[in-house]
Amino acid sequence: MNNGWNLWHGCTKYSEGCANCYVYRQDSRFEKDAQTVYQTKAFYWPIEKDKKGNYKLKAGSIVPTCFTSDFLLEECDKWRDEAWQMIKERSDCTFLFITKRIVRLKKCLPEDWGNGYDNVIIGVTCENQKRADERLPLFNSLPIKHKIIICEPLLEEIDLTNHLNSSIEEVIVGGESGENARLCDFAWVMKLRQNCIEKNIPFTFKQTGARFIKDGKLYLIKRQFQHSQAKKANINTTKS
Ligand code: SF4
């Protein structure tokens, strides 16, 4: 894993999970408008070479992509073909992007996508039941080699029973961070874990979020402890 490839920046709010988007929070600190979308200086990073002509990005890297935007954002349609070309050129690395706009995937795919590129993992965010029921049937019907589901920020109890199948490689769950973070209840996390155990799908509890409820008690958890507290719960599972 490395720091990732942030090829464009800026986004528009799209669904309930976006209400307290950290991109907006970060940009407002610098009096920037997070809705202004632009290509970053790192756009060509995956194919940059050193003086000896070797790629700077090491073969075998797992590259999280597009973490201050959405890879399928409409405003970025004009740049995406070039991004796909770079992803194809670096078939020795694996690229991961997470989207709420899975409804746009088909029209954003490169011509030679076929059943999916081997080196692309696509994650769909489902923050509540409504978005899970809306996005996952479509996600399940799409030709993608590696699929994961992200329930973050988890805003309510979600039942994924009808959406989990053997093509889903992992479900990742987390609460919301930031000053206005909404509550995340450990019981909701455990419900998703149970869904995954029943379908033999790996489950990861990534972070508690800032306002975490366990057994009816509210815990205010500082940012630096949100990941470690989730890890301490020791509830992650792997495929059996
Ligand atoms: S899709 Fe992601 S980056 Fe875009 S506004 Fe929503 S939370 Fe922020």
Going from the Cα of 12 to the center of ligand 1, the distance in angstroms, rounded, reads 7
Mean pLDDT of 14-35: 96
Phi-psi category of residue 203: left, alpha or beta, with phi > 0 → left and psi -120 to 50 → alpha: beta
- pLDDT at residue 203 is higher than 70: yes
Residue 238 inside a domain? The answer is no
Pocket of ligand 1 contains residue 47 by CB under 6 Å: no
This model's pTM is above 0.85: yes
> Where are the extended beta strands (E) located within the chain?
8-9, 38-39, 62-64, 94-99, 120-125, 146-151, 168-174, 184-185, 203-207, 211-214, 217-220
Query: pLDDT for 116-127, tens place per residue?
Result: 999 999 999 999
**For residue 3, what pLDDT band results from cuts at 50, 70 and 90?**
confident
Specify the pairing of strand 184-185 against strand 211-214. Answer: parallel
Residue 19 inside a domain? The answer is yes
**For residue 47, what pLDDT band results from cuts at 50, 70 and 90?**
very high
What percentage of residues in the chain have a pLDDT greater than 70? Answer: 99
Query: pLDDT for 51-93, tens place per residue?
Result: 999 999 999 999 999 999 999 999 999 999 999 999 999 999 9
Residue 239 inside a domain? The answer is no
What percentage of residues in the chain have a pLDDT greater than 90? Answer: 98
Return the ligand 1 atom nearest residue 34 CA: 5
Residue 22 inside a domain? The answer is yes
Query: pLDDT for 94-106, tens place per residue?
Result: 999 999 999 999 9
- pLDDT at residue 1 is higher than 60: no
Pocket of ligand 1 contains residue 23 by CB under 6 Å: yes
Going from the Cα of 19 to the center of ligand 1, the distance in angstroms, rounded, reads 8
CB 124 within 8 A of CB 102: yes
Mean pLDDT of 146-172: 98
Pocket of ligand 1 contains residue 127 by CB under 6 Å: no
Q: Which domain holds residue 94?
A: 8-233
Query: How high does pLDDT run on average in the chain?
Result: 97
Going from the Cα of 178 to the center of ligand 1, the distance in angstroms, rounded, reads 14
- pLDDT at residue 227 is higher than 90: yes
Residue 121 inside a domain? The answer is yes
Domain count, the chain: 1
Q: Whose CA is nearest to atom 7 of ligand 1?
A: 18
Pocket of ligand 1 contains residue 21 by CB under 6 Å: yes
CA distance 91 to 52: 20
Q: Whose CA is nearest to atom 8 of ligand 1?
A: 21
Residue 154 inside a domain? The answer is yes
Pocket of ligand 1 contains residue 19 by CB under 6 Å: no
Two structure tokens written together for 214: 């366990």
Q: Whose CA is nearest to atom 6 of ligand 1?
A: 18
Residue among 20, 23, 103 whose CB has most ligand 1 atoms within 8 A, to mutate: 23
Residue among 24, 67, 100, 177 whose CB has most ligand 1 atoms within 8 A, to mutate: 100
Q: Each residue of 61-97: b (16+ CB within 10 Å) or e?
A: bebbbbbbbbbbbebbeebbeebbebbeebeebbbbb
Residue 104 inside a domain? The answer is yes
Q: How buried is residue 137: exposed, middle or buried, by Cβ count under 10 Å (0-12/13-18/19+)?
A: exposed
Mean pLDDT of 133-140: 98
**For residue 2, what pLDDT band results from cuts at 50, 70 and 90?**
low
